[in-house]
Amino acid sequence: MTHWADRLFREQADLFAESFEGMFEAADEEIGTLIDLLDEEFDCRPERSLDIACGVGRHVLALADRGVDAEGLDFSAEFVGRARDRASDRGLDDRTVFHEADMRDLGERSGSYDLITVFWNSLGYYDRETDVQVLADARELLAEEGVLVVEQSNRDFFLRNFDAATVSEDDGRFSVYRQTFDVETGRFSTRIDVFDATGEGYDYVDRMEWENRLYAPPVLRELCEDAGFEDVSLFGGFDGDDLTLESETVATIAR
């Protein structure tokens, strides 16, 4: 049976990639805030970075804009192609490299990076053992003073504010979200039905589905420690705020 990640990020890559279009400005802001946090709290000023499961390259391009030699890795040929096109459009070909590769094969790679990132709930696609292995492989690729940054939605906040169904509209395209949570596995199942508005109603486009795990903040710390990291800090976002039940995001920084 095809794993949902293969179906969504490969077979439906064109449709899913549309969700990134309005998020490049946010990525620029996130990277700017993260760079300040790494400098002030960890004395880290990255010169070379790797973004795991980089998608269409939002954060890679933002890092490159700040003078970092930035690389991205994703197993979706469509996403990698779009990332390369955007890098070319922004004149960042000389500072960016995009690899079409699976994060589960990270152990086959070599390099030395000052910063390795895993953004936007990209951890939790598979099982816990796989996630620990991905983090352990990332650790092997870090420079001596390198830093790993993992971003996930705050599971505790998400559950307290759980919304089983929502509808969004963007430029005549409607998306109907339905979501469930499995208490035993900690996995959120999401289904999105996409419609295009017409003069006479709506045309059905397609359905996207995925099922990923959000780890509770203490478990994120445990994953990093199981992967061999000795110094793990949790923040309520890239601004360095304390992590609370009201924090929408968990930024895990490990060395």
User: Are both 172 and 225 inside the same structural domain?
Assistant: no
For residue 50, give the CATH number of its domain.
Answer: 3.40.50.150
User: Are both 132 and 195 inside the same structural domain?
Assistant: no
For residue 197, give the CATH number of its domain.
Answer: 3.10.450.630
User: Are both 62 and 151 inside the same structural domain?
Assistant: yes
User: Domain range spanning residue 173?
Assistant: 157-212
User: Are both 13 and 103 inside the same structural domain?
Assistant: yes
Which pLDDT score, from 0 to 100, does residue 41 have?
Answer: 92
User: Are both 43 and 131 inside the same structural domain?
Assistant: yes
Q: To the nearest whole number, what is the mean pLDDT of the chain? A: 93
* DSSP run (H or E) holding 131: helix 128-141
DSSP letters spanning 145-189 = EEEEEEEEE-HHHHHHT--SEEEEEETTEEEEEEEEEETTTTEEE
113-154: pLDDT as tens digits:
999 999 989 999 999 999 999 999 999 999 999 999 999 999
User: Are both 55 and 165 inside the same structural domain?
Assistant: no
User: Are both 48 and 85 inside the same structural domain?
Assistant: yes
Average pLDDT over residues 244-248: 95
Which pLDDT score, from 0 to 100, does residue 168 have?
Answer: 87
Q: 250 near 151, Cβ under 8 Å?
A: yes
DSSP letters spanning 211-224 = EEEPPPHHHHHHHH
pLDDT over 80 (residue 19): no
User: Are both 97 and 76 inside the same structural domain?
Assistant: yes
Q: At what angle do helices 217-226 and 128-141 cross, to 10 degrees?
A: 60
Which segments within 10-112 are labelled E, that is strand? 48-52, 69-74, 96-100
User: Are both 167 and 232 inside the same structural domain?
Assistant: no
Q: pTM for this structure? A: 0.93
User: Are both 42 and 135 inside the same structural domain?
Assistant: yes
Which pLDDT score, from 0 to 100, does residue 205 have?
Answer: 93
User: Are both 18 and 67 inside the same structural domain?
Assistant: yes
Q: At what angle do helices 58-65 and 77-89 cross, to 10 degrees?
A: 30
185-208: pLDDT as tens digits:
889 999 999 999 887 888 999 999
Q: 45 near 38, Cβ under 8 Å?
A: yes
For Cα atoms 57, 4, 155, give the angle at the middle one, nearest 5 degrees.
75
User: Are both 83 and 161 inside the same structural domain?
Assistant: no
203-228: pLDDT as tens digits:
999 999 999 999 999 999 999 999 99
Structural domain total, the chain: 2
Average pLDDT over residues 102-112: 94
